Amino acid sequence: MANPARASLSHRILGGDLRAAARLMRKADDRDPSAATELDALFPHTGRAHVVGITGNPGAGKSTLVDMLMQTFRSSGRKVGVVAVDPSSPYTGGAILGDRIRMQRHAADPGVFIRSLATRGHLGGLTRSTNDVVTILDAMGFDIILVETVGVGQDEIDIVKTAHTSVVVLVPGMGDDIQIMKAGILEIADIFVVNKADRPGAERVVAELGTLQNILSQNEGFVPVPILKTVAPSNQGTEELATAIDNHRSTLTSNGKLADRDRTRLLETVWSIVRESLDLRFKEVFDVRDQADGILTRLEERKLSPHALAQELVAALLARPK
C-alpha cells in the first residue's frame, strides 16, 4: 500500500485531506512552481460549487454576515468554504487575519474551511490567488464558497469576474448616496443587502437603491435585483439572504446564464495568470537591460521617456526565445 504521506497533494485533497489543501493553498499564494501541476490535476474535478462574492465598504459587517451565512448553509447540510481577503500587514505583507479570528467558532466543523489571504497590494478587492483557492475548495466538494473581499472602491469590482452570485453589502450612516453611486456598484450586484438595518437611515438606503434601480431599469438589459435587510449579529435576515442566493443560482441555471458566469470566471483565471507571468518576465527583461544599458538612469535623467522605454521592453520580450 502506498504511503499516504508520499501521495501527491492533489490526490490527498481529492480524498478530503484538509491539511493537504491548506498546504497547496499556501504554495499557490507563494507562487511555488509546483502548485500549478497540482492545480492542473484538481481542475477536472471542479465546476460543482456555487461561488458567492460578498463585497461592500469596510465596516459594513461583511465578516459577521459571512459567519451567519455559514451557519445557515451548514444547517441545510451543505459544506461551506470561505475565502476571506484581508488587508496586507504593512510589516510582513501577510494577511492580518481579522476575518478568520471572527469566524473561529466554526473551526472544529469539518464541513467548513476558512482561508484568509492577503491582498499584497493587489487592487480589485481580491488577491491574485483567490481563484486558485476556489479551485481547491471546489475540487474538495464544498457546495458553497463564500469569497469576502476587502471592500468596495472605485476599482474594487473584480468580484463580479470571480463569483456566480455577487452580494453587495451597504449600511446606513456611511454617506449612503455616495456608497451607492460608486462606479460599478449597481451593475455588479445580483443581491443588495442593507446590513445593520436596525440603525436609523436603513429605510432611506433601501428607498434610494430602489429608486436608482428603477431609473436604470429604463435602460435596455438592466434588471432590478433583490434588496434585503439584515442585522447580522442577531442573525436577522440571514435565512432570507441564503434563500435569495439559492434562488439566484436557480435563475441562472434555468436561463442558461450560469454557464456564462462560469466561462467568465475561467477566462479571468487565465488572464490573471497571463498578467502575472508577463509582469514577472517584464521585470526580468528590465533588470537585464538596466544592468547593460542603465535604462533607469536614462529614465531619471529624462533621456528616455516612459513610453519609449515600455516599447523597448515589449520588443525585447518578444525577441526573447521562449
CB atoms within 10 A of CB 133: 24
pLDDT at residue 107 is higher than 80: no
CATH numeric code, 46-255: 3.40.50.300
Tens digit of pLDDT for each residue in 19-66?
999 999 999 988 899 999 999 999 999 999 999 999 888 888 999 999
Half-sphere exposure of 115 (CA within 13 A, CB side): 29
CA distance 320 to 272: 22
SS3 string, the chain, reads: CCCHHHCCHHHHHHCCCHHHHHHHHHHHHCCCHHHHHHHHHHHHHCCCCEEEEEEECCCCCHHHHHHHHHHHHHHCCCCEEEEEEECECCCCCCECCHHHHHCHHHCCCCCEEEEEEECCCCCCCCCCCHHHHHHHHHHCCCCEEEEECCCCCCCCCCHHHHCCEEEEEECCCCCHHHHHHCCCHHHHCCEEEECCCCCCCHHHHHHHHHHHHHHHCCCCCCCCCCEEECEHHHCECHHHHHHHHHHHHHHHHHCCHHHHHHHHHHHHHHHHHHHHHHHHHHHHHHHHHHHHHCHHHHHHCCCCCHHHHHHHHHHHHHHCCC
Q: What pLDDT score was predicted for residue 156?
A: 52
272 pLDDT above the threshold of 50: yes
pLDDT in tens, 91-105: 334 444 444 555 566
Say which residue, 188 or 181, is predicted with more confidence.
188
The backbone torsions φ and ψ at residue 87, rounded to the nearest 5 degrees and listed phi first, read -60, 150
> What is the structure's pLDDT at 85?
83
Give the integer Cα–Cα distance in Å for 148 and 116. 9
pLDDT at 96: 42
> Residue 6 — very low, low, confident or very high, per pLDDT cuts 50/70/90?
low
Nearby residues of 182 by Cβ (< 8 Å), 6 or more positions away: 152, 153, 154
